[in-house]
Amino acid sequence: IALIGVPLDIGTSNRPGARFGPRGIRAESVLVRPYGMATGAAPFDSFQIADVGDVPLNTFNLAESIEIIEAHYDAIVATGAKTVSMGGDHTITLPILRALHKVHGPMALVHVDAHADINDEMFGERITHGTIFRRAIEEGLIDPNRMTQIGLRATGYSAADFDWSRDQGVRVDTAEDCWNKSLEPLMAEVRERIGDAPLYLSFDIDGLDPSVAPGTGTPEPAGLTASQGLEIIRGVYGKNLIGADLVEVAPQYDASGNTALLAANLLFEMLSSFPG
């Protein structure tokens, strides 16, 4: 499994700073130990895991950076490695999915986020951190009938903002659907949707509540708890997980370091959820 940093933040619409995500997560990851005490997982015993550094982006050019990311992942995937990515803003997921699709075909997707990221455009731009999943579905990278979005909430640009997903066949579970309950029953249903398709897990840290993850660019109140985040990631264990990302961590908005620390722990749980 290749652990890859993608320090891109020129696809953001509000506060920048996710370019500092990989270095912040790496710094706080010193507190992550080798064994998961709840799951019994020992990913560093089970797999060869290497931090292969950051993708060398062009910080002046989003379109070129998208091409650089795809080519970088093409080369890594060609080795047979699975990928776990540290963002970077959510734009990075589109070129990653393009690279993985060449090997795996249409994928199932579990998408954790406060936002649907299915705008057709933002300020006239077709590729931004808020448009990627519309592009991914249009390009056939994702099978919408095997896709679930969890944690969507807050305010939108129109009352119908989440409906395009539903119209494509995507399952949408808003934050309100998740409040005050365990997500284990939800994940049992999500697992049915995934079936045995190759699965990608895309986790935007702003899916979680700003009280536990304030270090991000587009925070929204009343999100998921940290333990619900763990339930989602643990809920895909046993599925054909072929890649995952953790995006939108902007550590400088959280002087405590806790957002990056939580991100490092979520990444450990992702490593623990790959099939053995």
Nearer residue to Mn ion within complex by CB, 70 or 204: 204
Least separation, in Å, of the C-beta of 135 and Mn ion?
13
Residues 41 and 196: their CA atoms lie apart, in Å, by 22
Considering beta carbons, is residue 13 or 145 the nearer one to Mn ion?
Answer: 13
Question: Distance between CA atoms of 119 and 236, rounded to whole angstroms?
Answer: 27
Q: Closest separation between CB of residue 13 and Mn ion, Å? A: 10
Q: How far is CA 83 from CA 41, 78, 152, 227, in A?
A: 18, 11, 25, 24
Structural contact between residues 215 and 250, judged by C-beta atoms closer than 8 angstroms: yes
Residue number with CB closer to Mn ion (3 or 114):
114
Minimum CB distance to Mn ion smaller for 81 or for 114? 114
- Closest Cα to residue 126, out of 176, 33, 215, 63? 63
Q: Please give the DSSP secondary-structure letter assigned to residue 169.
A: T
Residue 166 region by backbone torsions, left for phi larger than 0, else alpha for psi between -120 and 50, else beta: alpha
> Nearest approach, Cβ of 176 to Mn ion (angstroms)?
16
Q: Which CB, 41 or 205, lies closer to Mn ion?
A: 205
Smallest gap from Cβ 5 to Mn ion, in A, equals 18
At its nearest, how many Å lie between Mn ion and the CB of residue 142? 14
Q: What's the N-to-C CA distance of the chain in angstroms?
A: 12
Give min distance, CB of 215 to Mn ion, in A: 13
Pairing of strands 83-87, 107-112: unpaired
**At its nearest, how many Å lie between Mn ion and the CB of residue 247?**
6
Burial class (CB in 10 A: 0-12, 13-18, 19+), 180: exposed
Provide the minimum distance between the beta carbon of 26 and Mn ion in the complex, in angstroms, as a whole number: 21
81 or 224: whose CB is closer to Mn ion? Answer: 224
Of 114, 115, 164, nearest to 144 by C-alpha is 164
Task: Identify which of residues 176 and 184 has a Cβ nearer to Mn ion in the complex.
Answer: 176
For Mn ion, the closer CB: 49 or 212? 212
Question: In this structure, what are the phi and psi dihedrals at residue 75, rounded to the nearest 5 degrees?
Answer: -70, -40
Which residues make Cβ contacts (< 8 Å) with residue 124, sequence separation at least 6?
none
CA separation for the pair 178, 150 (Å, rounded): 8
Q: Enumerate binding residues for Mn ion (CB under 5 A).
A: 90, 113-115, 117, 204, 206
